[in-house]
Amino acid sequence: TVFFCISFTSPHHLFHCPQSNCIMTSKYNIITFLAVNLFEQFQEVANTYFLFLLILQLIPQISSLSWFTTIVPLVLVLSITAVKDATDDYVSLWHTHIAYFNCQAPLHTEICLQKEKWMNVRVGDIIKLENNQFVAADLLLLSSSEPHGLCYIETAELDGETNMKVRQSLSVTSELGDPNNLAQFDGEVVCEPPNNKLDRFCGTLYWKDCKYPLSNQNMLLRGCVLRNTESCYGLVIFAGPDTKLMQNSGRTKFKRTSIDRLMNTLVLWIFGFLVCMGVILAIGNAVWEKEVGALFQSFLPWDPPVDNFLFSAFLSFWSYVIILNTVVPISLYVSVEVIRLGHSYFINWDRRMFCSRSNTAAEARTTTLNEELGQVEYIFSDKTGTLTQNIMTFNKCSINGHTYGEEQHMAALDFSAWNPLAARDFCFYDQSLLDAVMEGEPAVHEFFRVLSLCHTVMSEEKSEGELLYKAQSPDEGALVTAARNFGFVFRSRTPGTVTTQELGKAVTYTLLAILDFNNIRKRMSVIVRNPEGRIRLYCKGADTVLFERLHSCNHELMNVTSDHLNVSDGLRTLAVAYRDLSEEQWEEWSEHFRGADKATDCRDDRLAAAYEEIEQDMMLLGATAIEDKLQEGVPETIAILSLANIKIWVLTGDKQETAVNIGYSCKMLTDDMTEIFIVNGHTVQSVRGGAANCMPDESKCPPPQAPPPSLLESIKYFPLSLGQAHALEADMEREFLETACACRAVICCRVTPLQKALVVELVKRHKKAVTLAIGDGANDVSMIKTAHIGVGISGQEGIQAVLASDYSFSQFRFLQRLLLVHGRWSYLRMCRFLCYFFYKNFAFTMVHFWFGFFCGFSAQTVYDQYFITLYNIVYTSLPVLAMGIFDQDVPEQRSLEYPKLYEPGQLNLLFNKREFFICIAQGIYTSVVLFFIPYGVLSHATQSNGVPLADYQTFAVTTATALVIVVSVQIALDTGYWTAINHFFIWGSLGTYFTILFAMHSSILFNIFPKQFHFLGSAHNTLGQPVVWLTIALATVICIAPVLAFRFLKLDLKPQLSDTVSMSVTIVCLS
Amino acid sequence: MGKKQAGTGPLSRRPDNSAFKQQRLPAWSPSLTAQTVLPTFYILSLVCLFLGIWLFITVENTYELKVDYTNAGTCERCFDLRKHVIASKTACTCTVSFQVPKLFQGDVFFYYGLRNFHQNLRRYMDSRDDAQMVGRKNNLKAPSSYCAPFDFDANKVPIAPCGAVANSVFNDSLTVVYNPADGSEIQVPLYRKGIAWYTDKNVKFRNPPTNDTFTLQQAFEGTTRPLYWQRPVYELDDTNSNNNGFINDDLIVWMREAAFPNFKKLYGVLNRAQGPFTEGLPPGNYTLSINYNFPVEPFRGRKELVISMVTWFGGQNYFLPIAYLVTSGLILVAAVVLTMVYVKVGKNGKNMEE
């Protein structure tokens, strides 16, 4: 194990070179920006490729194009990317400034207390913090102004939890309150290396020949804010990038969309195609130079290094690589980024995904995944806080075998009459429970006592009787509030005591130990000594866990209670128990506990074992049921998404009954699903049996006829089947997947966060489908990061899920809009964009190929070099961008009305290899027409004044103009939604083409640079001829008419649903 | 991402309700319905048909005559002589007779045509210096490196005009003689000027500055003629001193490189001022006499004289009208097929699966 050793005998003799606290979250500064950014950009394969082309172009024997035909687009692309990087960076730099330069903190070095900027703080420094200050490094709390070395912190920035937490210094250091004493402090901390675990810290302090264990309880992490504490002193343990907050930031995995991957494959294919074309033309050149060129030597001798036709062919290959490189357009990647950015902004701007209650708009946190939103097949959803509101209300309880709260339609009870401390917004309807409390039934009293004592809630009493609870989880808050209203009011706590008011009488319990909650234990306990001196352990936790640890005499009560729990209608239930401890038992156990607590290795495991030891033989008191209301619009959303052929799997940590009930209430499970399979088993064999049972049934009833069975998987066996790599377990995986995928609805219960990720991973790996994970809590982070798309619900459980997500919003129902409207459009637009983009570049480039057969394969271009430079970046870029950003095939409300419209995306119909080849074929066809029609006409034609039109410049202008017009007509045909912007860009591009053409061919430019602008007068002479226009018109008709005919045929014979819908829209508009 | 407004209040972060941001911009959504596509096809077909017929009639009344003189008539001798570039200095003249079957009415244009001569090779096209040809003094004696190896002669004297294009200029001179039935011989008068683009003649090609005392010859001092030329550039035209230097019409015409290996270039225009030529070129026997200089044998090329009439549409060109007629026919077929499909099996945009 690597240990970090921080010694601070003297600040100047540090064991390690101390880490400074200066964090550059921004990557660049003004001086290095250009170099660093360029270096990063040239790490992209595409950019390097274009640099290589540029170098090729500088070799005069090869250079078939001027250097600027590559450098202008390259510089443009690089600068757009650089500007984007710079703005991103500027934003983070701005945050850095906020974080570091606005707050000055007193820094304590040597003896004098001095103010220092945070960025100058180093590991080993001792820092004084004042109330409401922001902690900017990971500190070991040394002492505090509050008694017992306590201090309170708020960790909202760290984990999103808004409740306050207590931190306590070691008692040996808390005595060093005085700065002068602190300066004498010379200890050594040995701790774990920097990591990203926010809730764990393990270390030891060596001081004055003694060892003191350090835990998370002693740490103030960067990102916290000091509250309710006048001041405190801390020792810097981790600074700068080593802090836990910084270790947690940064995306772990870079996600790519399937379109991205397809695009990369296609670009590779195009490279292959380019090389093939080059080889064909080079062979042609070899043959030509041998047969014809050799004879032509008296007019044009070979260049000095060329001595035979083979070498000439070799050079010609590279020349053609340069010319034909435009089939792989440099602007492709940048255009795709721009389009995605536009789509992301549309998501951010969508008012219908704005939640006015929480004042949050939807946010696309990643800008690179939008089109994949249109291809989702599987949604993995968390339950609590995602489907439900995560606002808990105490609804029912079962105490000592008697249930309360069954009746819901009576008037709400009025607590304030007899309990001045009651919370006003608490509603309960069953008078009998209140009566039981009044009558002093001991079980009921003990029940509420547990609720008022066994928790980690902090209370704040602004004025007498006005209590405010800050709870880590809403369940806990709901339970403590319930206890409060029934007369067991939790008032305040210190690290060693809990003060409550029991039926008007203040009681202070000594808190001996807190056996904290975690996901594995699924329970928490407190051990308290009441004023009479009796020691008791109070425990609350998941019923399954708790029932195993009850005393055997509870058997009957357990059965009754468990019956009550089974009819709990989707409520969240907890069982409540206690255990009396004798003084000796406590002494013995606390010895164990201290040993475990001090251990440096496997501390958590040892603690868990110690807890396990004491939580035995407990006496059951009863159970609580808390209602978690469904979010607005959840059933409707699920219904629409299912209609869109999206399979929704709910993965929840809750128990089976709760999950099934939620499944019914959100219409995932319906009554027509007659066969519900519950696969439940503790061993691989029993699970296999359960899964096998439902398989034959499915083969009997194929899905279309009968309602497919729905499956409920309780995946206790999952650690076995997914965690290990045995053949047997791999078998299980497939069986599980096959069974689950045959079902209409799948609910997995009792899933740990890791298992959630494993399920997602499993589907991702075997189904080759796009997965989306949606969740709100820290337990969903792994699944959100694993899925293709992670969606975070910004809700009650903090912001960790949001921070890990790609998209975030505050209501589950926005998911339908994100997928069916934004996702669908993004996919459609991206596909149309890509089709057109490849088409236009092939149409443009392949003309050179045909010309090669007429110009002796000499790599002469067809067009003017300026046209080649500007074609992709000026003449044809904006219309297709406008289409890629604004296009719509059907109005947004239609895509929600007809969820089936979503299917083409899932089946990947709009852009795949087949569509790509169709585009390429169309491009090549266009290039054939664009070359041979002008060739046929112009090679014989003359102007009306007798001057032949067969000169190269006329041909170049005619072909270029025809090309621009044809691709403009094509984009006009492809654009389905003509906004003013589309009009502006399409007409503007045409206008720009003619303006630039005439400007480039003007005598003004020629007179300045005669060599560069030698096309003088061509535009004028060519475009003034009717025969040229007749040629262009003919070429356009021949290029476009077949496209029109095929599209009409397709529409007529095989209309897609979107065609039908948009057609009906048109008819509605007309009528 | 996304700008957050600084304001507070429950709706402070609500996005603007603008048509742009909510993607509700007013827009026109065209769709390919039978009502738009089918008429378009029929109309297109009709328009193409009309244009095709009109162009065809126009072309039918435009005559063109080609006389290949590479080794025809008495040119066989010259053809053999020019096989070797070394012999290029020896003069050789020959004649070819031909017949004009019909009257070429109106303006008649005389072209020389070359076959299999690649003016469109990349290195050939680059091998010129436009800055030199525009008469810039600096560039005159410092030809561009692109002109190599035709930039300096063996004695390192700069060549003007430099480059492969200028070097290979077409240097046959053609004279056409009309032989009427009465046995007389009338030379067909040709305008040899005004055969280049206006911009070429007046902007693109300029001589180095001269004045009354400083002659063109002096301006070109320090340069030498291209390798294959018989005369220096300032003595190209004996008859017209304003047609010398870079602004020589024949040179300008040649310098406008052809896009394809078979091409024709304008040589002269019939002067209809007098004699039997006022109507145009009368039918009858003609003799073409050639000052045979340009070697075509090395590259297996052919040379020809092309005589052509011109209309608004240019010279004789069957490709365009036929292409229009074929297109019209194909579109009509497509239109009929589409109509039949639409009427018989079409679903009128309705998805039957729904």
Predicted confidence (pLDDT) per residue in A1042-1064, tens digit: 999 999 998 888 888 888 887 77
The answer to whether the CB atoms of B55 and A944 lie below 8 A apart is no
At A303, which amino acid appears?
Answer: D
Mutation for testing the B interface, residue in A315, A818, A942 having most B CBs under 10 Å: A942
Tell me the pLDDT of chain B (354 aa) as tens digits. Answer: 334 444 556 677 888 889 999 998 898 888 888 888 999 999 999 999 999 999 999 999 899 999 999 988 888 888 888 877 655 677 889 999 999 999 998 899 999 999 999 999 998 998 999 999 998 888 888 888 888 888 898 889 999 899 999 999 998 999 999 998 888 889 999 998 889 999 999 999 999 988 888 888 888 988 998 988 888 999 888 888 888 889 999 999 999 999 999 999 999 999 999 888 998 999 999 999 999 888 888 888 899 999 999 888 888 889 999 999 999 999 999 999 999 998 887 665 454 444
The answer to whether the CB atoms of B111 and A948 lie below 8 A apart is yes
From chain B, the residues in CB contact with A855 under 8 A are 118, 120-122
From chain B, the residues in CB contact with A1056 under 8 A are 351
Measure CB to CB from residue B120 to each of A360, A855, A942 and give the nearest one. Answer: A855
From chain A, the residues in CB contact with B109 under 8 A are 942, 946
Tokens for A1, please give them.
């194990």
Angstroms from B183 CA to nearest CA on chain A = 31
From chain B, the residues in CB contact with A951 under 8 A are 256-259
DSSP secondary structure code for residue A978 in this structure: B
Residues constituting chain A: 1071
| A652 annotated as ligand-binding | yes
DSSP secondary structure code for residue B189 in this structure: P
Q: In degrees, to the nearest 5, what angle opens at C-alpha A562 toward C-alphas A560 and A568?
A: 115
Count of A–B CB contacts within 8 Å?
Answer: 313
At B27, which amino acid appears?
Answer: A
Angstroms from A915 CA to nearest CA on chain B = 20
The answer to whether the CB atoms of B120 and A860 lie below 8 A apart is yes
Contact A292, B124 (CB under 8 A): no
The answer to whether the CB atoms of A944 and B313 lie below 8 A apart is yes
Interface check for B217 against chain A (CB to CB < 8 A): the answer is no
The answer to whether the CB atoms of B11 and A356 lie below 8 A apart is yes
| A540 annotated as ligand-binding | yes
At B109, which amino acid appears?
Answer: F
From chain A, the residues in CB contact with B25 under 8 A are 886, 979-981
The answer to whether the CB atoms of B257 and A1052 lie below 8 A apart is no
Distance CA(A445)–CA(A399), nearest Å, equals 10
DSSP A642-691: HHTT-EEEEE-SS-HHHHHHHHHHTTSS-TT---EEEEE-SSHHHHHHHH
Interface check for B312 against chain A (CB to CB < 8 A): the answer is yes
Average pLDDT, chain A: 80
The answer to whether the CB atoms of B349 and A1063 lie below 8 A apart is yes
DSSP secondary structure code for residue B195 in this structure: -
Measure CB to CB from residue A299 to each of B12, B26, B168 and give the nearest one. Answer: B168
Measure CB to CB from residue A1051 to each of B120, B312, B349 and give the nearest one. Answer: B349
pLDDT digits (tens, 9 = 90+) for A871-901: 988 999 999 999 999 999 888 888 899 999 9
The separation between CA A890 and the C-alpha centre of its own chain, rounded to angstroms, equals 28
Interface check for B256 against chain A (CB to CB < 8 A): the answer is yes
- Reported as half-sphere exposure (CB side, CA atoms, 13 A), residue A981 has a value of 18
Predicted-complex ipTM score: 0.94
| A756 annotated as ligand-binding | yes
- Reported as half-sphere exposure (CB side, CA atoms, 13 A), residue B213 has a value of 0
Angstroms from A646 CA to nearest CA on chain B = 19
| A208 annotated as ligand-binding | no
C-alpha R_g of chain A: 37
| A383 annotated as ligand-binding | yes
Distance CA(A32)–CA(A82), nearest Å, equals 13
User: Given A138, A350, A382, A806, which residue is catalytic?
Assistant: A382
Interface check for B328 against chain A (CB to CB < 8 A): the answer is no
Tokens for A428, please give them.
């309960």
Measure CB to CB from residue B120 to each of A938, A952, A1038 and give the nearest one. Answer: A952
Backbone angles phi, psi at A726, to 5 degrees: -70, 155
Interface check for B329 against chain A (CB to CB < 8 A): the answer is no
pLDDT digits (tens, 9 = 90+) for A1002-1057: 999 998 888 888 899 899 999 999 999 999 999 999 999 999 999 999 888 888 88
Angstroms from A1015 CA to nearest CA on chain B = 9
Neighbours of A120 (CB within 10 A): 13
Angstroms from A364 CA to nearest CA on chain B = 7
Angstroms from A1008 CA to nearest CA on chain B = 10
Burial track A645-657 (b if 16+ CB lie within 10 A, e otherwise): ebbbbbbbbbbbb
Angstroms from B165 CA to nearest CA on chain A = 8
pLDDT at A248: 61
The answer to whether the CB atoms of A1010 and B122 lie below 8 A apart is no
Interface check for B182 against chain A (CB to CB < 8 A): the answer is no
From chain B, the residues in CB contact with A857 under 8 A are none
- Residue keyed to tokens 């984990």: A159
The yes-or-no verdict on residue A563 having pLDDT over 60 is yes
Distance CA(A373)–CA(A772), nearest Å, equals 8
A563 is catalytic: no
pTM above 0.90, yes or no: no
Distance CA(A865)–CA(A72), nearest Å, equals 12
pLDDT at A1066: 62
| A252 annotated as ligand-binding | no
| A84 annotated as ligand-binding | no
Confidence of residue A3 (pLDDT cuts 50, 70, 90): very low
The answer to whether the CB atoms of B31 and A1062 lie below 8 A apart is yes
Confidence of residue A842 (pLDDT cuts 50, 70, 90): very high
Kind of pairing between the strands at A126-130 and A104-108: antiparallel
